[in-house]
Amino acid sequence: MKPRVASYCRCLALLVCSVVFAPGGALADRFRMGVPTAPSHVWTIEANAFAANFAERTGGAHSIAVFPAGQLGNDAQMLQQLQTGALDMAFMPIAEITNRIPELGALYAPYLATDVAAAAKLLASDEARGLLDQLPARIGVVGIGYSLAGMRQIISRGPVQSLDDLRGRKLRITPLDPIRDFYVNAGVAPIPLPLGSVYDALANGQIDAVDMDLENIWKQNYYGLAETVILSNHMMFPMVGLVSAAKWRTLDPELKATITELMTQHFERIAVTYIDAEREYEAELKAAGIEVLPVGPEFFGTALAEWEETWRPKAPVLVRLRQLAAAAESGSAETGQ
Ligand code: BEZ
């Protein structure tokens, strides 16, 4: 058989094999879902649980194959695949979305939320949710809703007493303008690297420090390569559940409602998990003997005010989010929550 004919036959065979019929004769979907995190990470665990619940709810008529640990590419590549319809769904940081729609940068404002519980409340606000409405028209993806990872901290290969010990040092950041600006203002040299490259970069000395959450610091064993965790809680780290807009248009309303309902349940479970787990990771790290240095906003000096000045015009919703955060904080101070 000529090569071109053989290749045509292979394509045809693949197409025939991927056509599956649901009970009742309707076409079944096998969705592909990408997640950047490792199999042990809370996002991946909940993505798998979501896939299992979805298959059960649809009586096995539809299924979701979850690809963890950035197997399908980094966040930028996964977003491109969602845009073209080559990928159906993803749980990913809002970073890549923010690089295209800067107003979402408000959600990375330093010290906007004091902890995971406060961050989850802010992400549930109409103001934060409203930011997702523009996604289909502007970037070809549907934002089902938010969840989050733990608060951001800094892990350093060397000892740290003050910001001076980080000045001029190479610090890994998630590739993202608001986080880059934060560290540039602080006099640190930000190195954008996807999650999957962090361990090797830290191990081979390409970077001196990492902007990260306690879960990854603990589970990915970054602490084994470092001396100090600066417990700064300086930012929240939102995640968004995305569906390709091209795919979404083809789904019937019932399937859309099922995806939305189940994803939302798992977003909530992720937030609830972190509320307790953050303190457990901290205790594990201390028990492992790494220096844990708690610091407040004053650690970053004038960098915070400079960030605010740059980002308020780019992300006008920030003013309202700060008001909501302040109201929630004074409310919880009054009720002792
Ligand atoms: C990061 O880029 O630091 C990151 C990505 C996904 C989950 C948690 C952290």
Q: Tell me the whole-structure pTM to 2 decimals.
A: 0.91
Q: Is 130 helix (H, G, I), strand (E, B) or coil?
A: helix
Asked whether the beta carbons of 113 and 236 are under 8 A apart, the reply is yes
Asked whether the beta carbons of 161 and 167 are under 8 A apart, the reply is no
What confidence tens digit (pLDDT) does each residue in 214-272 have? Answer: 999 999 999 999 999 999 999 999 999 999 999 999 999 999 999 999 999 999 999 99
What confidence tens digit (pLDDT) does each residue in 16-40 have? Answer: 333 444 443 445 689 999 999 999 9
∠ Cα 56 79 106 (to 5°): 100
What confidence tens digit (pLDDT) does each residue in 131-144 have? Answer: 999 999 999 999 99
How far away, in angstroms, is 290 Cα from ligand 1 center?
21
Ligand 1 near 107 CB (within 6 A) = no
Atom number, ligand 1, closest to the C-alpha of residue 36 = 6
For the chain, the first-to-last Cα distance in angstroms comes to 73
Ligand 1 near 195 CB (within 6 A) = yes
Greatest pairwise CA separation for the chain in angstroms: 79
Alpha carbon 211 to its chain's center: 13
How far away, in angstroms, is 93 Cα from ligand 1 center?
7
Mean pLDDT of 290-300: 98
- Indicate the Cα dihedral angle 29, 35, 39, 44, nearest 10°: -80
Return the best residue to mutate from 147, 176, 213 for the ligand 1 pocket (most ligand atoms within 8 A of CB): 213
What confidence tens digit (pLDDT) does each residue in 308-319 have? Answer: 999 999 999 999
pLDDT reported for residue 331: 85
Ligand 1 near 198 CB (within 6 A) = no
The yes-or-no verdict on residue 119 having pLDDT over 70 is yes
Ligand 1 near 44 CB (within 6 A) = no
SS percent in the chain: helix, strand, coil, step 5: 55, 20, 30
Atom number, ligand 1, closest to the C-alpha of residue 149 = 8
How far away, in angstroms, is 12 Cα from ligand 1 center?
39
How far away, in angstroms, is 269 Cα from ligand 1 center?
18
Using CA positions, which residue lies closest to atom 8 of ligand 1?
Answer: 149
What is the per-residue DSSP string for 157-180? SS--SSGGGTTT-EEEE-S-HHHH
Residue 198 forms beta bridges with which residues?
A: none
